[in-house]
């Protein structure tokens, strides 16, 4: 029943926004942050994804990122990425992801905002002017750790957003803008990391129909119009199938 309701809302929506988190890539084999597979050695993500952790021990943090890059390099987009990519071809659909794995890009998603950056990009930790603009480095393995900035020879960092760091204003603006929509779908995120976790509430304030797809309850579950429990890689294709049964779906201009 919930799936049919949600499919109907998506079909009628002129503006659809999808927020994704690590759960969307779980079926591709990318470890989530807070699941049982979220531990790397004895560290929690929260203890490594901070500027303080990097300042204390850049090599340790880089070893974690190098391990993740190797894992992600062997992963492919799953059915959830492909459904989202297909929907993104329609005008009015926007995708905001917290994921740094770039699997949405590999699935050819349009109108994508990567609010936490990309694990395949680096920037200068030492703050040189040229190295402030992230550069792409897809080498696996990455070579000597920690890597250096090609511009100043200083220390390079992953061009991702760590706890306590601000999102790029352009990304934050685009994400906030995307909360002005008819349907807001939050998929595979634990809904505890801000400002991303606040977007669904913002969308609701703007009058959007809100829905969550997750294996588990999250702090957002009680506030959304529809909370669907299940794997994104199974639920999204079922919604797509319901949409495809209609003659002219989705119905955005
Ligand atoms: C499935 C599934 C399947 C599994 N299908 N589902 C307001 C209130 C309180 C605190 C703050 C606040 N504003 C800011 C803060 C501080 C902080 C914060 O939010 N802390 C909270 C933990 C309390 N936020 C920040 O610091 C942010 N900066 C900021 O706001 O700047 C301004 C500011 C600065 C200082 C002070 C105040 C304001 C920056 C946040 C950056 C987060 N960075 C990371 C690392 C990115 C780089 C990297 O990848 O290494 O982003 S942390 C990590 O968490 C990563 C993720 O993108 C993010 C969210 O995780 P996600 O995607 O939800 O994954 P999981 O593992 O948590 O959940 C997976 C979910 O999937 C689960 O629910 C599963 O059930 C589900 N699932 N398989 C469907 N198959």
- Say how far apart CA 80 and CA 91 lie, in whole Å: 19
Residue 185 Cβ < 6 Å to ligand 1: no
Residue 194 Cβ < 6 Å to ligand 1: yes
Number of other CB atoms surrounding residue 229 within 10 Å: 13
pLDDT band at 247 (very low <50, low <70, confident <90, very high): low
Query: 133-176, pLDDT tens digit by residue?
Result: 999 999 999 999 999 999 999 999 999 999 999 999 999 999 99
Q: What is the mean pLDDT of the chain?
A: 95
**Which residue has its alpha carbon closest to ligand 1 atom 29?**
166
Distances (CA, A) of 77 to 72, 102, 145: 10, 9, 28
Among 81, 90, 104, 116, which one carries the catalytic annotation? 116
Q: Angle at the Cα of 30 (from 29 to 35), degrees rounded to 5?
A: 100
Residue 31 Cβ < 6 Å to ligand 1: no
Adjacency order of strands within the sheet including 135-136: 135-136, 117-124, 156-160
Is 173 among the residues known to form the active site? no
Candidate of 18, 19, 20, 21 to mutate for ligand 1, largest count of ligand atoms within 8 Å of Cβ: 21
Query: 177-221, pLDDT tens digit by residue?
Result: 999 999 999 999 999 999 999 999 999 999 999 999 999 999 999
Residue 30 Cβ < 6 Å to ligand 1: no
pLDDT band at 41 (very low <50, low <70, confident <90, very high): confident
Residue 102 CB-density burial (10 A; 0-12 exposed, 13-18 middle, 19+ buried): buried
């Amino acid at each position: 029943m919930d799936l049919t309701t949600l499919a109907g809302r998506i079909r009628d929506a002129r503006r659809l926004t999808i927020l994704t988190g690590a759960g969307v890539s779980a079926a591709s084999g990318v470890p989530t942050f807070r699941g049982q597979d979220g531990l790397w050695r004895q560290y929690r993500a929260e203890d490594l994804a901070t500027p303080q952790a990097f300042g204390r021990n850049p090599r340790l943090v880089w070893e974690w990122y190098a391990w993740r890059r190797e894992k992600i390099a062997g992963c492919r987009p799953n059915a959830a990425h492909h459904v989202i990519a297909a929907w993104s071809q329609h005008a009015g659909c926007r995708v905001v992801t917290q994921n740094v794995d770039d699997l949405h890009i590999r699935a050819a998603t349009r109108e994508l905002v990567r609010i936490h950056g990309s694990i395949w990009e680096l920037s200068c930790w030492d703050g040189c002017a040229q190295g402030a603009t992230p550069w792409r480095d897809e080498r696996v393995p990455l070579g000597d750790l920690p890597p250096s900035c090609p511009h100043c020879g200083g220390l390079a960092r992953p061009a991702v957003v760590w706890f306590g760091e601000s999102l790029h204003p352009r990304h934050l603006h685009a994400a906030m803008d995307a909360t002005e929509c008819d349907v807001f779908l939050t998929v595979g995120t634990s809904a505890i990391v801000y400002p991303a976790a606040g977007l669904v509430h913002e969308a609701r304030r703007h009058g959007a129909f809100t829905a969550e797809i997750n294996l588990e309850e999250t702090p957002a579950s009680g506030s959304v119009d529809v909370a669907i429990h299940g794997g994104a890689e199974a639920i999204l294709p079922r919604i797509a199938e319901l949409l495809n049964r209609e003659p002219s779906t989705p119905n955005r201009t």
